[in-house]
C-alpha cells in the first residue's frame, strides 16, 4: 500500500513538471514537435561524391540574365501539380553538376539596379504558397548542395495554423537558416468567392456576390483587394520581422482571364497595386500542357519588365528536359530557322484557334465556331530582329504577320485583308495605321518584317509596304494570325535573325 502511494506521488510530481514545461513551451511546443517529425522524415539526403569536386562545367564569364524555376510541393508520389522528391533531387543534382549557382531575388534586383554582378550560370529557385512540403523535403538538399531558395507565402494559412502549411514558428526557421527568402503571395488571395448564384471566381480578380446585396460595389472591391496585399505584407513583417518586397502573382492570374472575373478592370487595379507595394512581381511562362516544356523564355534580364518576371513551373520535367529548356532559352538573340513544319509545331504557342501538321507543313485554321486563330513563338524580350516568312492562304482568308507581340493589346501587325496589305501598331489597345498598299495574292506570299529600335519596315515579295516607320513597341515575339469563317494559312517556312 505504501508502495502504491509513493508511485502515485511520483506520477503526480512528473505530471506537474511536464505541465509546467508544457505551459512554457505552448504554443511553440506543438510546432516544435511537428517540426522535429518533419525533419526526421526528410533528413537522409547526402550529396553524391561526384558533386563535391570543382565542377568542370563552370563558366567564367558573368551572365546577363537569370532563369527562374517555380515549384509547389515536393511529394512522394507523382501527381499532376507537384514534383516527386526523387525527380526534384535529380534536378537539383543536375543543376549543381552543370555549374548553376543559386542567387537570391534580392541579388537579381540589385543586378537590375546596377549594383550586383551576376555570376556565371545563375538561377533562382522559388516555391509558392508556403507549404510544408516545399520546405522539409528541400532544405536538407539545399544545405548539402549549397543552394538557396525563395518561398512566397499566402499568409491566411500560416495565421490559421493549417497543418498542410508552414506556421510562423516554422517560417522563422527558414528565415534563420540563411537559405531562404520569405516573400509575399497575398493573404486570402487563393480563396474562391461567389460571383453569382451559380458561379465562383478568384479573390483578387472578381467582385463578391451576395444573395441579399448582389455584387459588392466597385469601391468595396478595390478596398478589399488592396487590403489583401497590405495584410499579406503586414503578416510577414509582424510575425517574422521581414518586409516583403517581391510578389508571386497569386494563381498566376489576377484578372487577365475573363473566365475568372466578372469585373475585367480588376487586371488594371491589381497591376497598379502591385507596382505600388512591390519592387518585383513574378508570373509563370507559357508551357505545353502535355509535356510541360516552356513555350516562352523564363530568363530575366536587367531590362525585363519588373512586374512580369517569368518563371518556369518545373513539375516533373526530367533533368535532361530541364537542362534542354535552360540551354534553349539562355541566348537572348533572336535566331531561329524554322524550315520544317514538324519543328515549328514544337516551337509554336497556339494562343487560340486550331492547328495541324500536314505533309510537313504547319497549318493554322478556324472551325467549330472559332472565327480566328493566332500563334506566336520566340521570346517576348526580343528587341531588334528581322523575320522572313512564307505563307500560303486562300482568297477568302484574312491573315496577319505579327512582330514585337507582347500581348493582345501591344504588337505590330501586317494584315492581309482582301486586296489590301495594312501595316499597323496596336499600343495599349489603341490601333494606329502605319501604311497600306494593294497586293496580288498568289500561291505563296513572302513577307519580311524588320524591327530596329523605334522603327519598323515591311515588305511583300520584296516590294516595300513601309520603310522605317516610327513605332512605340519596344520588344516582343513573332506571330501569325488568320481570321474569317473556315479560314486557313499554311506556314511554309519562317526565319528570324538579329538585325
CATH code, domain with 54: 3.20.20.370
Q: Of 329, 360, 384, which residue constitutes the final position of a domain?
A: 329
Q: How many domains does the chain have?
A: 3
Residue keyed to cell 510541360 = 292
The greatest distance separating any two alpha carbons of the chain, rounded to the nearest whole angstrom, comes to 113
The C-alpha cell at 342 is 514538324
Split at pLDDT 50, 70, 90, the class of 27 is very low
User: Cβ of 40: how many Cβ atoms within 10 Å?
Assistant: 10
Residue 20 has pLDDT above 60, yes or no: no
pLDDT of residue 498: 82
Q: Is the pLDDT of residue 427 over 50?
A: yes
Domain boundary among 277, 299, 329: 329
pLDDT at 352: 87
* pLDDT interval class at 224 (50, 70, 90): very high
Does 468 or 428 have the greater pLDDT score?
A: 468
291/391 same-domain check: no
Over range 339-361, report the average pLDDT: 74
Range of the domain at 163: 42-329
Same-domain pairing of 60 and 16: no
- Burial state string for 405-425 with b = 16 or more CB within 10 A and e = fewer than 16: bbeeebbbbbbbeeeebbbbb
What proportion of the chain, given as a percentage, has pLDDT over 70? 85
Neighbour-count burial of 149, counting CB atoms closer than 10 A to its CB (0-12 exposed, 13-18 middle, 19+ buried): buried
Q: Flag whether pLDDT at 205 surpasses 70.
A: yes
> Range with the lowest mean pLDDT among 150-159, 327-336, 393-402, 417-426?
327-336
Supply the CATH number for residue 377's domain. Answer: 2.60.120.560
Q: How confident is the model at residue 332 (pLDDT cuts 50, 70, 90)?
A: low
278 shares a domain with 215: yes
252 and 208, same structural domain?
Answer: yes
Provide mean pLDDT across the span 290-317: 89
pLDDT of residue 56: 54
Closest by CA position to 375, among listed 395, 396, 357: 357
Neighbouring C-beta atoms of residue 176, cutoff 10 Å: 10
pLDDT at 496 > cutoff 70: yes
Looking at the structure, do residues 254 and 311 belong to the same domain, yes or no?
Answer: yes
pLDDT of residue 23: 41
- Cβ-based neighbours of 247, under 8 Å, separated by 6 or more: 152, 183, 184, 185, 186, 229, 274, 277, 278, 280, 281, 282
- Average pLDDT of the segment spanning 126-131: 97
Same domain, 323 and 389: no
What is the band of 32 on the pLDDT scale with cuts at 50, 70, 90?
very low
Do 180 and 108 fall within a single domain? yes
Q: Which of residues 337 and 31 earns the better pLDDT score?
A: 337
Those residues with Cβ within 8 angstroms of residue 113's Cβ, 6 or more apart along the chain or in another chain: none
Q: What is the CA radius of gyration of the chain?
A: 27
| Residues 302 and 425 grouped into a single domain | no
Asked if omega into 27 is within 30° of 0 (cis), the reply is: yes
Q: Do residue 240 and residue 387 come from a single domain?
A: no
Q: Residue 68 — very low, low, confident or very high, per pLDDT cuts 50/70/90?
A: very high
* Ranges 2-11, 173-182, 189-198, most confident: 173-182
- Are 246 and 347 found together in one domain? no
Q: What is the mean predicted confidence (pLDDT) over 96-118? A: 96
Average pLDDT of the residues of the chain:
87
For range 420-440, the mean pLDDT = 93
pLDDT value of residue 268: 87
Give the cell for residue 133: 512540403
Question: Looking at residues 328-350, what average pLDDT do you find?
Answer: 68
303 plus 432 within the same structural domain = no
pLDDT at position 442, please? 76
Q: At 36, is the pLDDT very low, low, confident or very high (cuts 50, 70, 90)?
A: very low
Q: Where among 329, 350, 374 does a domain terminate?
A: 329
What would the grid cell of residue 427 be?
499600343
Are both 229 and 308 inside the same structural domain? Answer: yes
Q: What is the pLDDT of residue 55?
A: 55
| pLDDT at residue 241, rounded to an integer | 98
Amino acid at each position: 500500500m505504501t508502495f502504491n502511494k509513493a508511485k502515485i506521488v511520483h506520477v503526480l510530481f512528473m505530471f506537474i513538471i511536464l505541465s509546467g514545461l508544457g505551459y512554457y513551451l505552448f504554443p511553440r511546443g506543438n510546432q516544435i514537435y511537428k517540426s522535429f517529425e518533419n525533419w526526421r522524415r526528410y533528413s537522409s539526403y547526402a550529396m553524391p561524391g561526384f558533386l563535391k569536386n570543382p565542377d568542370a562545367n563552370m563558366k567564367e564569364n558573368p551572365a546577363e540574365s537569370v532563369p527562374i524555376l517555380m515549384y509547389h510541393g515536393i511529394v512522394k508520389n507523382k501527381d499532376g501539380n507537384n514534383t516527386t522528391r526523387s525527380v526534384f533531387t535529380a534536378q537539383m543534382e543536375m543543376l549543381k553538376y552543370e555549374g548553376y549557382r543559386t542567387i537570391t531575388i534580392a541579388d537579381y534586383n540589385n543586378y537590375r539596379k546596377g549594383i550586383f554582378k551576376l555570376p556565371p550560370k545563375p538561377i533562382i529557385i522559388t516555391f509558392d504558397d508556403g507549404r510544408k512540403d516545399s520546405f522539409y523535403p528541400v532544405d536538407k538538399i539545399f544545405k548539402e548542395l549549397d543552394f538557396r531558395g525563395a518561398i512566397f507565402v499566402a499568409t491566411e494559412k500560416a495565421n490559421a495554423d493549417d497543418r498542410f502549411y508552414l506556421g510562423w514558428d516554422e517560417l522563422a526557421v527558414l528565415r534563420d537558416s540563411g537559405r531562404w527568402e520569405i516573400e509575399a503571395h497575398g493573404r486570402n488571395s487563393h480563396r474562391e468567392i461567389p460571383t453569382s448564384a451559380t458561379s465562383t471566381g478568384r479573390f483578387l480578380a472578381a467582385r463578391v456576390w451576395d444573395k441579399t446585396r448582389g455584387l459588392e460595389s466597385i469601391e468595396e472591391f478595390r478596398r478589399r483587394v488592396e487590403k489583401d496585399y497590405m495584410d499579406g505584407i503586414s503578416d510577414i513583417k509582424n510575425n517574422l520581422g521581414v518586409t516583403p518586397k517581391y510578389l508571386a502573382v497569386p494563381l498566376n492570374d489576377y484578372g487577365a482571364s475573363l473566365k475568372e472575373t466578372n469585373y475585367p478592370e480588376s487586371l488594371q487595379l491589381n497591376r497598379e497595386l502591385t507596382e505600388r507595394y512591390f519592387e518585383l512581381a513574378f508570373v509563370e511562362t507559357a508551357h505545353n500542357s502535355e509535356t510541360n516544356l516552356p513555350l516562352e523564355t523564363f530568363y530575366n534580364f536587367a531590362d525585363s519588365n519588373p512586374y512580369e518576371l517569368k518563371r518556369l513551373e518545373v513539375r516533373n520535367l526530367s533533368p535532361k528536359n530541364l537542362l534542354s529548356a535552360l540551354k534553349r532559352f539562355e541566348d537572348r538573340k533572336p535566331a531561329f530557322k524554322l524550315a520544317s513544319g514538324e519543328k515549328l509545331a514544337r516551337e509554336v504557342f497556339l494562343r487560340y484557334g486550331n492547328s495541324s501538321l500536314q505533309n510537313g507543313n504547319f497549318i493554322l485554321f478556324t472551325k467549330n465556331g472559332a472565327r480566328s486563330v493566332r500563334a506566336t513563338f520566340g521570346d517576348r524580350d526580343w528587341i531588334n530582329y528581322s523575320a522572313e516568312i512564307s505563307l500560303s492562304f486562300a482568297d477568302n482568308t484574312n491573315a496577319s504577320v505579327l512582330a514585337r507581340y507582347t500581348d493582345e493589346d501591344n504588337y505590330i501587325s501586317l494584315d492581309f485583308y482582301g486586296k489590301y496589305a495594312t501595316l499597323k501598331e496596336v499600343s495599349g489597345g489603341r490601333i494606329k495605321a502605319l501604311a497600306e498598299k494593294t497586293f496580288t495574292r498568289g500561291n505563296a506570299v513572302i513577307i519580311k518584317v524588320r524591327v530596329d529600335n523605334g522603327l519598323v519596315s515591311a515588305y511583300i515579295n520584296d516590294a516595300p509596304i513601309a520603310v522605317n516607320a516610327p513605332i512605340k513597341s519596344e520588344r516582343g515575339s513573332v506571330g501569325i494570325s488568320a481570321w474569317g469563317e473556315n479560314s486557313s494559312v499554311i506556314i511554309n517556312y519562317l526565319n528570324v535573325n538579329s538585325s
